[in-house]
Amino acid sequence: MTALYSFGLGIGTQNSEGKWLEVYYPQPLLNPSEAVANALKAALDYTGGTQAITLDDAALTKLASAFAEVGETGLAATAEQLKNSTRPTVATILASDDAPISAPEGYLKLHLLSHRLVKPNNTNLTGLFGILLNVAWTSEGAIDITELADRQLQARLENRSLSVDSVDKFPKMVDYVVPTGVRIADTARVRLGAYIGEGTTIMHEGFVNFNAGTEGTSMVEGRISQGVFVKSGSDLGGGSSTMGTLSGGGNIIITIGNQCLLGANSGLGIPLGDRCTVEAGLYITSGTKVNLLDDKNQIVSQTKARELASKDDLLFRRNSTTGAVECLTNKSAVELNEALHASN
């Protein structure tokens, strides 16, 4: 068998038409071993390609035996646990990192992110929105929106309480994955597919989208949008915002370097290097005109913020008298921009 990209045994929810609403993978694998591929071939007659195979008890029995024979005891135990389930089960095989074309494939990739097996922007999620259904996330699990009214009525007729927590394509992460070493004050504000690094604290106003997150120890009181990745030791102040690739950022991937600070209610539309600060209330976009200052607070030149992207040791602030956006830079940054503008 050729090498596989990912594999997961999952249990999920389908609507009345048999369409997948969600899938939970307790033990997703990235780059599974050849032994796993051989077990899939033996138990499911798998011959290659990306597939989401709905399983019955007979298939799960074969899988459990095949995994045990090749020493994959964890997968064997999972297959045994899934037998006799009242919910549908699935074996999802990703032969390569192609764009997902089914909900089981998409959910497997979201699990890879939240299990910290891949980092944001390192797996292909093209078209993910289109393959996921809009779902009511309730106290009784995922319910298709078109079936919600009937379920609400049935609950009341049976004197039960059916609470709807959200209506969205993505569930909250902690219902599927709880990474080690993190604090999350409001779990509803972190979507499945978020990558939350060890040591991260997400306060009540913090938000982390799918395919976004933190590398290590960070304090998050602002919004980490889709595609944004924050490196270790950085602090996103209350109400701060980062521009993701879904919200006007285009194809610009926003990264925030080590030991950076976004002040309260600030915003960022360019990547930051290490040890950078954006003043509270200041929103920096790629086209923002910035006055570069020397160590005597004298204007050296003017540039657009995009020219300062990913550079270290920058302080962005707004002049309280003129309102102009200013940047204090180290000497090498000033020299680089002087050379850039001299060629204009």
Q: Look-up: residue for tokens 């990474």?
A: 179
Per-residue pLDDT tens over the stretch 241-271? 998 765 544 567 899 999 999 999 999 999 9
CB of 5 closer than 8 Å to CB of 27: no
| Closest by CA position to 304, among listed 335, 319, 325, 321 | 325
Question: Where would I find the H helices in 46-114?
Answer: 57-69, 73-82, 103-114
Residue 6 has pLDDT above 90, yes or no: yes
Quick one: pLDDT at residue 251? Answer: 64
Calculate what percentage of the chain has a pLDDT beyond 90.
Answer: 88
C-alpha torsion sign, points 108, 110, 116, 122: positive
Catalytic residue status for 221:
yes
- Residues 124 and 96: their CA atoms lie apart, in Å, by 10
CATH of the domain spanning 6-132: 3.30.70.2010
Share of the chain above pLDDT 70, in %: 93
CA dihedral sign, ordered 156, 159, 163, 167: negative
Residue 206 has pLDDT above 50, yes or no: yes
* Triad 238, 205, 130: Cα angle to 5°: 120
| Nearest by Cα to 218 from 201, 239, 238 | 201
pLDDT in tens, 279-310: 999 999 999 999 999 888 889 899 999 999 99
So where are the chain's domains? 6-132, 137-168, 173-342
Contact 91, 55 (CB under 8 A): yes
Q: Is 0.85 surpassed by the pTM of this model?
A: yes
Strand partners, 138: 141, 164
pLDDT for residue 99 is more than 90: yes
| Residue 193 near residue 122, CB atoms below 8 Å | no
Contacts of 296 (CB under 8 A, 6+ apart): none
Query: Which tens digit of pLDDT belongs to each residue from 14-59?
Result: 999 999 999 999 999 999 999 999 999 999 999 999 999 999 999 9
- Which CATH superfamily groups domain 173-342? Hexapeptide repeat proteins (2.160.10.10)
Q: Would you place residue 332 in the very low, low, confident or very high pLDDT band (cuts 50, 70, 90)?
A: very low
Catalytic annotation, pick one of 22, 105, 215, 221: 221
pLDDT digits (tens, 9 = 90+) for 145-189: 999 999 999 999 999 999 999 999 999 999 999 999 999 999 999
